[in-house]
């Protein structure tokens, strides 16, 4: 009894630390909303919102919605279609496409935007070749514009469909393959069995994947800014960074935040109370149908199209741009950008691992409702767009800086590396937390009971038992956070210190200046770094198949 009381007392600091972390993660939302509340007291928020609504806000909303609709439709078609093909059929190239279909996850949307703009613009190789081939002159012919709302929608779809593919594929493989076989033996054809059995079972997973793709679409800044498409995210950046209008930035950030929250609620509502269970576990192996002739090659072409357009084509375009440069310079400036990126990613990953291990372990040993709420708040961070997080952090930090200046305190938080790492943690803690928690769940409670019976306290049990068993999950969590930081643009562009550039920022700046050849090297570096976890995920998929 004495030991149990001692353990209970030792839990108190864990709960306090978790509460503090949850409050810090929720601070950006409070920062955005507090600016609205403070403006409501003086009436400035009403006038600002009225001005925004009369000028730019409808265009921001319409463009964002149109892009989101295009992304939802195309990611559903490509993600679900490819997942169904590789899960239910044998066809040429199937083993390759099983893992290759996730490769576009390594391509940031803004990098793909730069590549395709160079390739498809008036002076690019495609239009130049068409004019030479058909003798077209000047603007006498029509060619689709990549720099448009539709172009942005198609681009996002080819980069983000792997979210839907991964979740739908797991659903097709693990959720009642025997039902599919039963439908086939009862005379249902492949299409009928798909629409009546497989698709309804995979609907929750596909809806979750589409929701993730839409959140990434709404959060993007680099691609839509380069295309010149006004969206809610570009509006936040312009209001804060260009026009220095904090009230307008907060208003637009609030609209974007509400849109994301509505999207999350719709995704949860789409699942409702439905529960889908796998019958027979992994032993219930679905009988594969071997496609032949035209059907087989149609399946191959359908799976090849998103991989080529979402990964291989942009990769070859970037290589072509880089090789066209007279010199490929790994100069001191490039090494400085790389160094800044690696330091930010590494520091953020280490802090994220420490925080997530602490919170996941606290949930395991306390079994507290308060701890569960804290963990849920931390898990919400990934749904908040980087631009909203940036505004939500800068507002309170600007007030703290003003207070420090008035009282002679030489400390500036806004526009600092500390603020930048804080923004990364708010955005990406959810990624590492899920990985650490999933690994901790696999450790049986009997191990904890055995350790306690041998006299181990919580700290000793964590260091000598749990962490050695968690090292793979911890490594995966750190790697995912590191890569997300490397690719992140909106928050970095807004919060970074003066004259402090990362690979993502410098790629965006060079591309904005139409110096695409110079932007190719840092862009390719980002892709090479980002492809590491994708390869790990691909190996996991391959080993799971075997």
pLDDT tens-digit readout, 386-396: 888 888 888 88
pLDDT band at 39 (very low <50, low <70, confident <90, very high): low
Give residue 310's pLDDT: 94
Non-local CB neighbours of 101 within 8 Å, separated by 6+ positions: 82, 86, 162, 165, 303, 306, 307
Q: What global pTM score does this model have?
A: 0.81
Distance of CA 194 to the CA centre of its chain: 29
Give residue 178's pLDDT: 62
pLDDT band at 77 (very low <50, low <70, confident <90, very high): very high
Tokens 């001191």 appear where?
332
Structural domains of the chain, with CATH: 1-55+327-512 (1.10.3720.10), 56-136+145-324 (1.10.3720.10)
Angle, in degrees to the nearest 10, between helices 417-441 and 332-366: 50
DSSP conformation letters of 203-241: HHHHHHHHHHHHHHHHH--HHHHHHT---HHHHHHIIII
> Using CA atoms, how far apart are residues 262 and 269, in angstroms rounded to an integer?
10
Give residue 3's pLDDT: 42
Give residue 157's pLDDT: 95
Give residue 449's pLDDT: 67
Mean of the per-residue pLDDT values of the chain: 81
Residue 166 has pLDDT above 80, yes or no: yes
Mean pLDDT along residues 249-257: 83
Give residue 212's pLDDT: 84
451 phi and psi angles, rounded to 5 deg? -65, -40
pLDDT band at 8 (very low <50, low <70, confident <90, very high): very low
Task: Flag the least confident range among 176-190, 302-316, 462-476.
Answer: 176-190
CB 4 within 8 A of CB 360: no
Mean pLDDT along residues 340-360: 91
Question: Contacts by 373-378 with C-beta closer than 8 Å and gap 24+?
Answer: 373/22, 374/18, 374/19, 374/21, 374/22, 375/18, 375/22, 375/433, 375/437, 377/22, 377/25, 377/26, 378/21, 378/22, 378/25, 378/429, 378/430, 378/433
327 or 441, greater pLDDT: 441
> Using CA atoms, how far apart are residues 63 and 150, in angstroms rounded to an integer?
9
Closest CA to 306 of 537, 103, 90: 103
Task: Flag the least confident range among 291-295, 350-354, 412-416.
Answer: 412-416
Residue 175 has pLDDT above 70, yes or no: no
> Using CA atoms, how far apart are residues 468 and 289, in angstroms rounded to an integer?
43
Most confident of 137-141, 339-343, 542-546: 339-343
Distances (CA, A) of 122 to 138, 144, 183, 517: 9, 10, 52, 17
Helix, coil or strand: residue 290: strand
The encoded tokens of residue 500 equal 């402090």
Mean pLDDT along residues 419-429: 91
pLDDT cut 70: percent of the chain above it: 82
275 phi and psi angles, rounded to 5 deg? -130, 135
Give residue 2's pLDDT: 40
CB 134 within 8 A of CB 52: no
pLDDT band at 165 (very low <50, low <70, confident <90, very high): very high
Mean pLDDT along residues 422-426: 92
CB 87 within 8 A of CB 286: yes
381 or 302, greater pLDDT: 302
> Using CA atoms, how far apart are residues 434 and 363, in angstroms rounded to an integer?
13
> Using CA atoms, how far apart are residues 171 and 205, in angstroms rounded to an integer?
7
**Cα within 13 Å of Cα(123), Cβ side:** 1
Residue 7 has pLDDT above 70, yes or no: no
pLDDT band at 71 (very low <50, low <70, confident <90, very high): very high
Non-local CB neighbours of 450 within 8 Å, separated by 6+ positions: none
Residue 67 has pLDDT above 90, yes or no: yes
Give residue 284's pLDDT: 45
Max CA distance (Å), the chain: 91
């Amino acid at each position: 009894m004495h030991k149990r009381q001692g353990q209970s007392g030792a839990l108190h600091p864990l709960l306090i630390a978790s509460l503090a972390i949850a409050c810090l993660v929720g601070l950006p939302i409070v920062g955005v909303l507090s600016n609205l509340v403070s403006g409501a007291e003086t009436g400035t928020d009403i006038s600002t919102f009225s001005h925004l609504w009369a000028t730019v806000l409808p265009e921001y909303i319409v463009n964002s919605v149109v892009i989101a609709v295009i992304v939802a439709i195309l990611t559903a078609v490509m993600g679900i279609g490819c997942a169904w093909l590789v899960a239910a059929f044998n066809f040429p190239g199937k083993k390759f496409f099983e893992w290759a279909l996730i490769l576009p996850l390594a391509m940031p949307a803004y990098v793909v935007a730069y590549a395709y703009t160079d390739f498809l613009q008036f002076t690019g190789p495609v239009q130049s070749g068409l004019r030479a081939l058909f003798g077209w002159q000047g603007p006498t012919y029509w060619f689709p514009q990549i720099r448009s709302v539709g172009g942005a929608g198609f681009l996002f779809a080819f980069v983000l469909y792997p979210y839907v593919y991964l979740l739908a594929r797991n659903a097709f493989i693990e959720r009642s393959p025997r039902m599919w076989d039963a439908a086939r033996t009862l005379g249902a054809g492949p299409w009928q069995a798909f629409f009546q059995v497989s698709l309804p079972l995979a609907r929750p997973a596909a809806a979750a994947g589409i929701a993730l793709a839409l959140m990434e679409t709404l959060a993007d800044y680099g691609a839509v800014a380069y295309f010149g498409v006004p969206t809610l995210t570009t509006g936040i950046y312009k209001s804060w960074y260009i026009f220095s209008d904090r009230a307008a930035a907060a208003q637009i950030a609030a609209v974007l935040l509400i849109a994301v929250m509505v999207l999350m609620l719709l995704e949860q509502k789409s699942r409702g109370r439905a529960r889908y269970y796998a019958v027979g576990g992994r032993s219930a192996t679905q009988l594969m149908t071997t496609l032949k002739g035209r059907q087989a090659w149609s399946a191959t072409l359908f799976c090849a199209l998103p991989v080529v357009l979402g990964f291989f084509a942009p990769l070859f375009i970037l290589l072509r741009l880089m090789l066209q440069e007279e010199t490929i310079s790994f100069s001191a400036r490039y090494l400085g950008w790389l160094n800044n990126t690696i330091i930010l990613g590494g520091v953020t990953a280490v802090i994220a691992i420490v925080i997530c291990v602490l919170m996941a372990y606290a949930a395991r040993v306390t079994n507290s409702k308060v701890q569960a709420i804290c963990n849920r708040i931390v898990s919400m961070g990934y749904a908040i767009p980087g631009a909203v997080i940036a505004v939500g952090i800068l507002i309170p930090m600007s007030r703290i800086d003003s207070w420090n200046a008035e009282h002679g305190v030489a400390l500036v938080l806004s526009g600092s590396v500390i603020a930048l790492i804080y923004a990364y943690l708010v955005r990406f803690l959810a990624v590492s937390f899920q990985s650490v928690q999933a690994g901790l769940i696999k450790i049986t409670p009997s191990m904890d009971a055995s350790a306690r019976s041998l006299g181990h306290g919580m700290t000793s049990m964590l260091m000598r038992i749990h962490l050695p068993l968690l090292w793979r999950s911890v490594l995966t969590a750190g790697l995912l956070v590191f890569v997300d930081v490397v690719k992140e643009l909106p928050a970095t562009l807004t919060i970074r210190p003066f004259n402090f550039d990362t690979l993502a920022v410098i790629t965006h700046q060079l591309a904005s200046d139409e110096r695409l050849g110079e932007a190719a090297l840092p862009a390719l570096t980002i892709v090479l770094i980002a492809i590491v976890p994708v390869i790990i995920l691909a190996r996991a998929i391959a080993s799971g198949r075997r």
